[in-house]
Chain A
Amino acid sequence: MGRGGVLLSLLAALALGGCADELDPTYLVVKERVVGLEVGVVGADDGRTSAMPGETLSLELRYGAPDGVVEPTWVLIACEPAPSSFGVPFCGEGEPLAIDAELDLGEGKRPFEVTIPEDYGSDTVLMIGAVCMNGVVDASLNPSDPEALSRICTDGEGLGQALTYEHPLGVDEDAANRAPAFTGFTLAGESWGEAEGLMPGVTSCEGLDLPELRVDDDEVEIGMAVREGDREAYLQRTPDAPEGEPANEDLQITHLVSAGDMERLFTFIDDEALEDIVEYTPPAADDEDVDVPAEGLVVRFWFVMRDLRGGHDVVMRALCVRP
């Protein structure tokens, strides 16, 4: 049997006997995690993400946590990627473009910046590193060493996570990529704005003006709108057009939530789906993993949009689930 047959046999076995229900769904944020990042060219006011030689890229990690509390520290290296066709990317033999670390728990949300040299030899820049959430990262660790990844945080305090990100650089301004952006959200057909006054650490709805749902409610629709023109045109390589053919970006939207169920993890805004509507189901009353207090539980949502060419947008929303 060929490899394809093996693959599909495995798929069939998974479909017939899958047991992934015991694992936390990916969309469920049950612990601190990096939910995305935002990237921009320093000084560019049009949302451009394609840095030209001599320009400086700024990267800011975005975090999520059930209660919203994340105090990160990190160490990051920017470098030219080594040739590799699989596995975790790693730096080439040249000197890193930038090395930076933030070991102060209170300052971890500042951006990481890297300036692209005029004579830079690659069309991407690789950033690798590690973040320790609610703990202090070991600044001496080598992110390319698998053994080191088990001790990202010093003294075992905090939650460590290795990171990698490869960012495409620009060739000329006309072909530059710009970051997409959400323009609005709806919840059950109603406009859904930012959660004003919601501070990290707050899990009770008391004193907050949030849209409300009740446990065991049926699913509701969440709608996301993007800017017209965010699906930028570019040359896409396909089997029929190895040199590339004109295409518009697909926008990948990831939905994350701190409690309850999302219909799916990803949605793509593409030629066939010009808007993202995803269903959300509040937690059940008998859900042992969720404690809904009498005054209501704040449920946080993170919506992450990627154009897969270096453009990112991360937005948070919240609602209140009452008993």
Chain B
Amino acid sequence: MLRSVRPLRPLLLGLALAAFSGPAAFAQPEAPAPSEGEAGEGEGAPGEGGEEPGGEEPGGEEPDGQAGEGEGEGQGAVEPPELEPPRLLEFVEADYPSGAEEEGIEATVELELTIAVDGAVTDARVVGPAGNGFDEAALDAVRRFRFEPAKRRGEPIPARIRYRYVFELAEEVPPPPQETDEPEAPAPGRIEGRVLGMEDGQPIQRAEVVLTNADQSIARRSVAGEDGTFRFDELPPGRYTLVILADEFGELTQEEEVVSNEITDVTYRMRLLEADEGEENFFGATAVIDPPPREVTRRTIPREQLTRIPGTRGDALRAIEVLPGVARPPFGTGQLIIRGSSPQDSQVFIEGIPVPQLYHFGGLTSIFNSRLLDRIDFFPGNFSVRYGRKTGGVVEVGVRDPLGIHPQRGIHGVAEFGVIDVSLLGEFPLGENAEAAFGIRRSMIDIVFDQLVPEDLLSVTAAPVYYDYQSIITWRPTDRDRLRLLVYGSSDRFGIVADEALGDDPAIRGNLDLTSRFHFVHFDYDRQVDDQTELDLDLQVGTINLEFGAGDFASFDARFNQIFGRAELRHRPNSRVRLIAGMDIFSAPLTLNYFGPAPQQSEGNPGGDPASTLEREPYTVDAVAYRPAMYFESDLQPWEPLKLILGMRVDYAREIDRWSFDPRMAAVLEVVDDFKIRGGVGIFSQPPEFQETAEGLGNQDLDFIHSVHTGLGFDWVIDQGIRLSVDGFYKRLWDRVVGTENGVPPRFTNGGIGRIYGMEVSGRIDPIDGRRFFGYLSYTLSRSERQDREGDDWRLFDFDQTHIFTLVGAYKLPRGWEVGVTLRLVSGNPTTPIVGSAQDLTSGTYFPIYGRVNSERNPLFNRLDLRIEKQWIFESWKLALFLDIQNVYNQQNQEGYIYNYDYTQRTPINGLPFIPALGIRGEL
């Protein structure tokens, strides 16, 4: 018995190519159609050009290889594709596991290969194990493969592909067949078909169609012509699998039956993809190899779905609200409340740089144009040592390269007009190796604000006005280098003039004004030092300006000149070990002038004192916050199904002259296919807030705030595109900064502790394989408690929400329509009852007298949001009209109470009412 080891060419070639470059990879719609032979040569295939063990010619079975002998359906010549997949140059035969050979076992191992720019396999992992020693044998072989690297416009780039390694025991070569009287083989059949767009019925030109039969003995390829037609002749009767790849239309797989002497006529309709459909698609588009997940729990919503979530007005960053572990802020204030942590304990990063805010006033809109985002990673806990100085959660916003999602290298633009704001986005090439993009947005609220605010109450001088802008330039001077310059900023201003005192407090009169703006310049340099080493350098400088004025009662004017630098070196000595070393420095020279009451503990303090009763003082601070840090991390794979992530981080905060040391670890165990168990534990430290340590304002002897995160959960891919995750977590906080009793100096101490525990369930259905529906289900069950002083009773955290349930669904209807809903059911926030009042005869106002802090709770919050969008696709541009309605049934969700002057009467104050937002978007 002879044995043969055959690499099964990416039978799932479509899958491999999609993993390599996304749906846009082969888009060259303006190029002439390829001839079969040329197309086959250009794309290459594993096994092609290599000596085949056993004397076989596996390349001959490749769909690509078949193209050269195709039926001539592909028409004309073609320019090299925008992106080319890697091509196998040197195939290495694997050792057939002896035991398996003896027992006659055959197998197929599915692998994922990372191929560097020099064609070497730098990483290989088994994604479809076969056991019996096959996995190890296949890994050993593919690591010695040599590829012609993937190319982007002819330039080599790293890539990741799927590869099947097939182990077959070849039958003994039978003797030549004798002439017999057996009947002739049945007459062949034919498949003819068309590929059309779902929305407009227009032919999809140059769609690639790959045909294979069940045992892979037949594999052919065709390219649709200008009328979208394709054809496969001379097919033996039987069932065939057709995979249709059509750049921005994605991929479609269908089964067809061929009958002798008959033509099987098929028509395939494919839906246009807005963008990439999964995180895999983000890979390979740049010169940077995506680092592997370093977190126990990372939740990512594909970009294509981010802008389609009802209730967000298409704002991708607002989609964070639907993720498990994220609590609902009252009034839609946009605060990030992650796993029971205070908003100031969590941080938003844009490309690794901390930004002061995520949303504009009111939380309706984020500060970064969604269409420039590459990904949003949300780490509710147990995050990597790359992130520090926070004890809550982390949101990392990735910015894509200009033109990165467009198959054509030309000018692209999006303009969007809505009742809330208007925005403009443009992208264009800058020579051969550089691209640029810009975005700008401005609010429209000020135009309608005058109509909403009572004229006789307020005189508006600066209605809510916000704007933000982004500019990105990417330059790749060499195959191994990428430089990016990001310039972005945001501004919010809101001001009113009150001629008389507002409400019942005579102290609040005069101008109310709030200005919040920042402007950042971020320089990013990535270098692929060699096949195993990457260097990432970031430097950001910018200013943050905060101004607040409440008449003559209080004023605040602060300017931070934020400087943030990061250097990270990643090295992979072998496929099972990855080492990361990095340092980051946060420095913020600041000038602050403040006049007003002394700062108090904010969380757990119902406040409510009449402004008239607060003693006010002027404070001036000139200081430099200087916080350097170093971190080290290793990703280890000691055993194929197990990944271990060990890290440590050391932080220093000059303003308190304290160090912190944070060891962290995480592990991921792939128990069986599509089922992983994750766990992690680590220490997280955070410097006190600035006002808590500033000289004159707070206590300079404060220490870091500490917490320990523990988490355990699993990911289960139930079926293709259907996932379920469950996570349990426990967090312990200590050295929490709390106010001193009655706010006496030093005003703050590290005397508080806390505990947070709960469970998160996340379900997701992706719109793959032609599925028109996508949906999310998230549910969080948690409890977050605090103890402010030793001996105090435990109390609930201000935003403790026992149950957070979110259901999102969107369905694509024919003719470019889409409809979606978001339903939220959330426990009401805790409130502190008022049990009495004391009249202050000095001012005529009343002090509320509180009962036990957070001992009551608002009623259940429930809200339904609806989004309807209609899209028209024209030859060179798209137009969309959308209506996004928040709170469709105008549910009166109680957020608290308004009291009368002496707190003897109260009435609920409700959250945001029915808010329809109509918008129109044009996309070039």
Contact = CB atoms under 8 A, between A and B. Distances in A.
B334 A1 contact: yes
Interface in A8-55: 8-20, 22-24, 26, 33-34, 36-37
B361 interface: yes
B913 interface: yes
B911 interface: yes
Given A2-B357, A9-B361, A20-B898, A34 B841 contact: yes
Contact of B843 (A5, A268, A306): A306
B593 A86 contact: no
A158 to B, nearest CB: 14
A155 to B, nearest CB: 18
A18 B908 CA distance: 9
B500 A87 contact: no
A268 B908 CA distance: 31
A267 B500 CA distance: 7
B413 interface: no
A7 B356 CA distance: 16
A239 interface: yes
Given A1-B357, A5-B361, A85-B600, A23 B836 contact: no
B843 A149 contact: no
Contact of A87 (B359, B742, B909): B742
Nearest to B554: A239
Interface stretch (A103-111, A161-169, A189-197, A280-288): A161-169
Given A5-B514, A23-B899, A146 B837 contact: no
Interface in B450-466: 452-454, 457-458, 464
Contacts, number: 200
Contacts of B514: 4-5, 7-8
Given A5-B357, A5-B492, A11-B512, A83 B836 contact: no
B133 interface: no
Contacts of B595: 238-239
A6 B333 contact: yes
A163 B504 contact: no
- For chain A, give the interface size range: 35 or more
A85 B835 contact: no
Interface in B217-265: none
A23 B905 CA distance: 7
B907 A252 contact: no
Given A6-B335, A20-B898, A149-B838, A13 B506 contact: no
Contacts of B548: 4
A238 to B, nearest CB: 7
Given A242-B618, A266-B501, A88 B849 contact: yes
A13 B910 CA distance: 9
Nearest to A256: B844
Contacts of A268: 500-501, 506, 509
- Chain A CB count within 10 A is highest, among B454, B504, B614, B615, for B504
Interface in B790-815: none
A26 B501 CA distance: 13
A248 interface: no
A35 B910 CA distance: 31
B332 interface: yes
Contact of A265 (B333, B501, B616, B842): B501
Interface in B405-464: 452-454, 457-458, 464
Contacts of B356: 2
B743 interface: yes
Contacts of B296: none
B452 A146 contact: no
A306 B602 contact: no
Given A8-B494, A88-B847, A239-B593, A1 B335 contact: yes
Contacts of B615: 85
B358 A1 contact: yes
Given A9-B333, A20-B898, A83-B744, A162 B839 contact: yes
Contacts of A16: 452, 913
B842 A165 contact: yes
Contact of B743 (A2, A8, A15, A84): A84
A150 B835 CA distance: 7
A26 B840 contact: no
A164 B494 contact: no
Contacts of B607: 86
B836 A4 contact: no
B516 A146 contact: no
A17 B842 contact: no
A1 B744 contact: no
Contact of A4 (B458, B556, B597, B616): B556
Contacts of B363: 1, 9
B842 A150 contact: no
Contacts of A252: 506, 843-844
Nearest to B557: A239
B335 A147 contact: no
A304 interface: yes
Given A5-B492, A238-B595, A36 B837 contact: no
A12 B742 contact: no
A161 B600 CA distance: 27
Contacts of B546: 2, 4
A34 B359 CA distance: 45
A290 interface: no
A75 B837 CA distance: 16
A18 B898 contact: yes
B85 to A, nearest CB: 45
B851 A146 contact: yes
A4 B362 CA distance: 11
A254 to B, nearest CB: 5
B12 interface: no
Contacts of A7: 514
Interface string A219-263: 000000000000000000111101000000000101000000000
A15 B851 CA distance: 28
B842 A36 contact: no
B842 to A, nearest CB: 6
Contacts of B509: 266, 268
B909 A14 contact: yes
A302 to B, nearest CB: 11
Contacts of A85: 597-598, 600, 614-615, 742-744, 747
B552 to A, nearest CB: 8
B500 A264 contact: yes
A148 to B, nearest CB: 9
Contacts of A84: 742-744
Contacts of B616: 237
B840 A164 contact: yes
B593 A33 contact: no
A171 interface: no
A266 B505 CA distance: 9
Contacts of A14: 898, 909
B742 A162 contact: no
A165 B909 contact: no
B850 A17 contact: no
Interface in B183-207: none
Contacts of B909: 13-14, 17-19
A20 B910 CA distance: 11
A147 B836 CA distance: 8
Contact of B907 (A4, A6, A10, A19): A19
A14 B331 CA distance: 10
Interface string A137-161: 0000001001101100000000001
B855 interface: no
Given A8-B464, A9-B332, 19 more contacts: A5-B334, A5-B492, A5-B514, A12-B494, A15-B458, A17-B913, A19-B908, A19-B909, A37-B841, A85-B600, A85-B615, A86-B597, A86-B614, A86-B743, A87-B847, A163-B839, A237-B618, A238-B618, A266-B509
9 contacts: A9-B331, A16-B913, A17-B912, A85-B744, A86-B607, A161-B902, A239-B555, A252-B844, A264-B501
- 6 A-B pairs closest in CB distance: A85-B743, A149-B836, A239-B595, A26-B901, A162-B838, A84-B742
